[in-house]
Structure 1
Amino acid sequence: MDEQRGPGGGPPRWWRHGPPWGHLRDAAERGTRRPWRSTLLLTVFVLGGSNFAAQAQEGQRASLDVFARVLLLVGSGLLLWRKRYPVAVAFGTAVAAMVYLGAGYAYGPVFLTVAVACFSAIVAGHRRAAWSAVGMLWAGHVLVAHWLYRWLPPTGDTAASWWQEVAVATWVVAIVAVAELARVRREQWAGERAERAQAARRRADEERLRIARELHDVLAHSISVINVQAGVGLALLDTDPEQARTALTTIKEASKEALGEVRQVLDTLRTPGDAPRAPAPGLDRLPELVEQAAGAGLAVEVEGEPPRLPPGADLAAFRIVQEALTNVVRHSGSRHARVRVEHGGGALRLCVDDDGPATGADAGGSGNGLAGMRERAAALGGTIEAGPRADGGFRVLAVLPLKVKEDR
C-alpha cells in the first residue's frame, strides 16, 4: 500500500486524477445533463423559420404575435428535458404545436419540435407514448383544418386540402420510422456492447482459472517433494548426515524450480501479450518428474514414448501426470508408480497407477488437484477418470482427443 501513496505520504497517485468511482459519477452526470446546445440551435431555427413562414403566408394565416412566440419558445424549451422526461416532453410539444396551429398561425418548423421529442421518446423505448403524441397532434390538426376553422382565426379561413393531410401523415410516418430504426440500431449496439463485456469477463475468469491451476500444480508438486525430503532430512540429521545433505540438496533444487515456474506464471500477469521467457513444460520433461519423484522416495516407471503435441495440449498432459504423481506421494502408501503413455486414433491416453494402499492421513492438500486435472482435460475436449482399483491401488486415466504431429 505504501508504494501507492504520493510523495511525502500524501494521497495515493490514483487520487490525483480523481477517486476510482469518478467514472460512475461522470456517467450519471452525462445521463442527466440537459442538451443545451442542440436545444438552443433548434429554438433559433424554429423562431427564424416561423418568422420566414409567417411572411410567406401573410394574408392567409395570422401574423406572429407575443403569444405565438411564447408557444414556439415553450415547445422548443421543453426539449431541454427530452432525455429525462421523454413522454412528458413528447406530449407537451404536441400540445404546444396544436395550440399554435389552432390559433391560426403560419405553418412552419413548429412540427420540428414534436418530431425531435417523439424521436427521443421512441429511442428511449417509449414507443406508444410517442405514437400517441403524434396521433393526437395529427387528429387535432384534422379537427382544426376541417371543422373548427370556422370559429378559429384567421377570419375567412377555408378548409384545408385532404392532400395536405396525406402529406402531413406521410411526414409523420417517415419521422417515426426513422426513430424506430434508430431505436432498433441502438438496442443492437447495446446488445453488442453487453456481449463484448460478457466475453471479456469470461476471458478474464478463464485466465484467472488457468493461472490458479498453474500455481496449484507447480506448488503442490514442489511442496510435496520438499515436505517429504524435509522429513527425511530431519530423521537422518543425526544418524546419517550425508543422506540428510542429499535431502537438503533436493529441497533446494525443488524450491528453485518452483520459484522459476511461479515467476514465469506471474510474468504473464505483469506483461500480458508478451511471449513467455521460458518454454512451457511438456511431456518431454517426464524424466525430470521421474527424478523429482525419486527424490521423494517414489520410483516411477514410464511406458511408451510421448508424441509431439501442440504447446497447450503438451502443457496439460504434463500437468496431469505431475498432479497424479503428486497425489501418489501425498496420499498413497505405495513407493512405486507406473506412467503409461499411448497415442493413436487421434487420441492421447495417459494412465498413472499406484499399488496403494491409501494412507488416509491428511497430506495438507487443497483438494483441487482432481478438479484441476478435469478442467485441463475438459478444456481440450477430453476426459479424466480417477478412482480406486479393485486390487487396492489407485488409477488416473486421461484421454485427450488430439491430432498428433507425426513430424519431429
Structure 2
Amino acid sequence: MALITRLSTQSESFNSALRTLLAFDASQDESIERATADILKNVQQHGDSAVLDYTQRFDRVSAPSVAALEIERREWLAALDQLPSGQRQALETAAERVRVYHDHQRAQTWTYTEADGTVLGQKVTPLDRVGLYVPGGKAAYPSSVLMNAVPAKVAGVPEVIMVTPTPDGVRNPMVLAAAAIGGVDRVWGIGGAQAVGALAYGTQTLSPVDKIVGPGNAYVAAAKRRVFGTVGIDMIAGPSEILIICDGATPADWIAMDLFSQAEHDEMAQAILLCPSASYLDEVEAAIARLLPTMPRADIIRASLAGRGALILVQDLDEACEIANNIAPEHLEISTENPQQWADKIRHAGAIFLGRYSSESLGDYCAGPNHVLPTSRTARFSSPLGVYDFQKRSSLIHVSQAGAQTLGRVAATLAYGEGLQAHAASAEYRLNLSN
C-alpha cells in the first residue's frame, strides 16, 4: 500500500476520488448508543448511586459518596506547585495568550433610542453554570482545559465545573494544574457518559449545568448528543483534519511534519496537501518516507496517511482555494508568499494559519485562538469555540407611549391578518384611540 494517495485535479476521476477520500462514516455504533442511553436513564433516575456504581465499574474507583469524589482545590494547587518550572511557565503563558485573545470576543449589552423615545437593544449575559469534560488517564490534555475554561471565565460564567475520570485513582497533575490556572471552580473525579448525565440532569450532590463542553470518547460524545436540548453542548467533533495549501517553496520536511501533526491523533485523522508543483509533491512524499520511522506514533500516522491522506496536484493556487472551500477543513495552513491574498478567497475553515511559520501546532497550544474547531465540513456553518458560546442574548424592548401608537396599529393589522384577535386587542389597548 502506498504511503499516501496521490491525486491530480486534471484526472477525470478526481471529483469522485476526492468525495471518497473525504467520506467519513459518522453513523453511531448501536451498542454504544444503547449503553449510553441506559447509563443516562439510570443517572437521571438514581443520581448519586448510579454515578458511584459506574465509577466503580468503569474506573475501578470506590467511594462512599459522590462528595468523596470531589478533588479539592488544595490538590490542584499542589499539582501546580510541583510541576517542573518549564511546564508551569508554558501553561501560564498559554493561558494568558488564550485569555487576551478571547477578551476581544466578549460582547456587550447595547441599545439605541428611536425618535419617539422607544428603546431597543440586546442584553448580553453569561451562562450561570458550565460543565467541562476532560479526558483522564493516558489521554489527558491540559491544553483543552485552558481552551474551554478560559473563554467561559472571560465570558463571566460564575461557576465552571470540571469532570475528569481518574482510572484506578490516578489523577493527572497537568490537568489539575491547568484547572488551577484556567479558573475552574470545582473538579470531580468522574468520567464517561455517567459524568455527562450528572452534569445534565444533576444528582443529589451535583447541581445541573447549563452547557457541557469538552472532548471525550465515543460514549461521552453519544451522551452529549443525547442530553442536547436539556443542556447546551459545544459540538460533536469528528476526527482531526489539516489541509495545507503550499506554493512549493516551504521546506518539504516542514510540510511533512505538519501533516504528521494531525495524522498522529488517530487513524481516522485526515491530512491533505494541495500544491501546483508535482516535483514538490515528490519532495514531500520523500520527506514523509524519511521522517515517518522517527515518529513514536508512526503506526497511527501511517494508517491515517494511507487511509485518508492525500497529496493533490492542482493547476494553481486559485484552484487550491476552491478545493479548500469545498473541503471546509478544521485547520487550513496557507504556506505561501503573500498568504493573505489567498486567505481572502477562503470562506470555510475552522482556523486559518497564514505564512510559512504558522504551524498548526502553535494553534493547538499557545497562539491564542481556540483549538476547539468544527470538523467534518461543519466549518461551512459553524465556528470555533469562543466567548460567545458562554454568553446568551436577550432582546430589550422598551416602547414609549408615542411608539405604541405607531407600532400598535402595525401589530394589530398583522395580527388580524393572522386570525389572532387577542394579539390585536393587546396592541390596541395601548392606542390612544381619540387620535
Q: By the TM > 0.5 criterion, same fold?
A: no
TM-score by length of 2: 0.19
Higher fraction of helix: 1
TM-score by length of 1: 0.19
Instruction: Find the structure with the greater CA-based Rg.
Output: 1
Higher fraction of strand: 2
Greater RCO structure (CA 8 Å; 6+ sep): 2
